[in-house]
Amino acid sequence: MGNMSNDFMIKKLTDAKTHFERALDCKHTEFDDLYPYMIEHPQFFWYKRYVAWSELLTIVKLAEELDMEWREQFLDHQKDYIAKRVMSSRVLDEWYETNDSKEHVDNIG
Long-range pairs, 17-22, Cβ under 8 A, ≥24:
17/56, 17/73, 17/74, 19/52, 19/55, 19/56, 20/49, 20/52, 20/53, 20/55, 20/56, 20/95, 21/95, 21/96, 21/105, 22/52
Is residue 4 pLDDT above 70, yes or no?
A: no
pLDDT confidence band for 107 (50 / 70 / 90): very low
pLDDT of residue 89: 92
> What are 24-79's pLDDT values in tens digits?
999 999 999 998 888 888 889 899 999 999 999 999 999 999 999 899 999 999 99
Rounded to two decimals, the pTM is 0.82
